[in-house]
């Protein structure tokens, strides 16, 4: 039904030689995987060489962010055309680090989502509550706002991916339990159903992110509404990322 998507968000890690080493090793380790999608999102400087290395492999390429304009006086920004140009098919948008460190708002993220879609990139919209928000009982309110605002104006025909990443579980070693994650995933699917249709909600992949490791991947990925993972730290080593990709294929 929904094809699994295992994505690696390398964040601000890896020089070009390091990136190439990682991806060469990864290619070999996952070359036999055919029943799920695999994605890596290197930093901008490594996109082009990594993209070349991944040509005709089973690993897709994605950006970690982009601006919504095609070109112009936007110092330090990267456009959707540039991501397409180097071989990206996906782009992560609204990651909590973009929201919290760089002040990205739902409105800005929404413009990026629309632009990514218009340029043929599949947006991976990240949503998730902080620890404070969870403790205040605001998880659903926050996640619902981020999903609704982030997807405003998006056509029901457009392909999109949602990543639920509770901020308190990112890089902290604290993973949401599979049950807790499942609850939010199912809630998000309900919002998609309301926004688009039940059919669209049933087709849309919702990834979990936040301290996903080879040891906890299986429990999370076996949940009915968890359709993949967005992996940070554990995607920086080919072996651990490959283990997550193959969570149910090998001992
Ligand atoms: P970690 O897997 O390092 O917790 O990072 C999760 C994340 O933010 C992926 O986008």
Query: What pLDDT sits at residue 251?
Result: 58
pTM of the predicted structure, to 2 decimals = 0.97
Would you say residue 119 lies in a domain? yes
Would you say residue 63 lies in a domain? yes
Please count the structural domains in the chain: 1
Encoded tokens for 62: 């994605």
Would you say residue 88 lies in a domain? yes
Query: What pLDDT sits at residue 1?
Result: 80
Instruction: Give me the residues of the chain with pLDDT under 70, please.
Output: 251
Ligand 1 contact via 94 beta carbon (within 6 Å): no
- Nearest-CA residue for atom 7 of ligand 1: 232
87: left (phi over 0), alpha (psi -120 to 50) or beta: left
Q: How far apart are CA 232 and CA 111, in angstroms?
A: 25
Would you say residue 113 lies in a domain? yes
Q: 156 CA distance to ligand 1 centroid (A)?
A: 28
Alpha-helix runs per DSSP H in 31-150: 44-54, 80-85, 96-101, 106-118, 131-135, 139-150
Q: Read off φ and ψ for residue 244, nearest 5 degrees.
A: -65, -45
Other Cβ atoms less than 10 A from the Cβ of 1: the count is: 5
Q: How far apart are CA 138 and CA 159, in angstroms?
A: 28
Query: What pLDDT sits at residue 92?
Result: 99
Q: Which domain holds residue 164?
A: 5-245
| Active-site residue flag, 95 | yes
**Ligand 1 atom with the shortest distance to the CA of 92:** 10
Ligand 1 contact via 209 beta carbon (within 6 Å): yes
Would you say residue 251 lies in a domain? no
Q: Domain holding 179: CATH number?
A: 3.20.20.70
Would you say residue 10 lies in a domain? yes
Query: What pLDDT sits at residue 57?
Result: 97
**Among 95, 104, 133, 185, which one carries the catalytic annotation?**
95
Would you say residue 49 lies in a domain? yes
Would you say residue 250 lies in a domain? no
**Ligand 1 atom with the shortest distance to the CA of 211:** 4
């Amino acid at each position: 039904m929904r094809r699994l998507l295992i994505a690696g968000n390398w964040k601000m890690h890896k020089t070009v030689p390091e990136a190439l080493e990682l991806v060469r090793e990864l290619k070999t380790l996952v070359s036999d995987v055919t029943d799920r999608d695999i994605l890596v999102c290197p930093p901008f400087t490594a996109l082009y060489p990594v993209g070349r290395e991944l040509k005709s492999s089973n690993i897709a390429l994605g950006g970690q962010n982009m601006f919504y304009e095609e070109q112009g006086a936007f110092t330090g920004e990267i456009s959707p055309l540039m991501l397409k140009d180097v071989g990206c098919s996906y782009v992560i948008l609204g990651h909590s680090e973009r929201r919290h460190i760089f002040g990205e708002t739902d409105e800005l993220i929404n413009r990026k989502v629309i632009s990514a879609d218009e340029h043929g990139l599949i947006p991976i919209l990240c949503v998730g509550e902080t620890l404070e928000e969870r403790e205040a009982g605001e998880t659903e309110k926050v996640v619902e706002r981020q999903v609704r605002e982030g997807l405003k104006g998006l056509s029901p025909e457009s392909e999109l991916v949602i990543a639920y990443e509770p901020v308190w579980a990112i890089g902290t070693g604290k993973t949401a339990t599979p049950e807790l994650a499942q609850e939010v995933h199912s809630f998000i699917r309900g919002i998609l159903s309301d926004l688009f249709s039940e059919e669209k909600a049933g087709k849309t992949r919702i990834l979990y992110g936040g301290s996903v490791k080879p040891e906890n991947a299986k429990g999370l990925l076996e949940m009915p509404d968890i359709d993949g993972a967005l992996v940070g730290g554990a995607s920086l080593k080919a072996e651990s990322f490959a283990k997550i990709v193959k969570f149910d294929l090998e001992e």
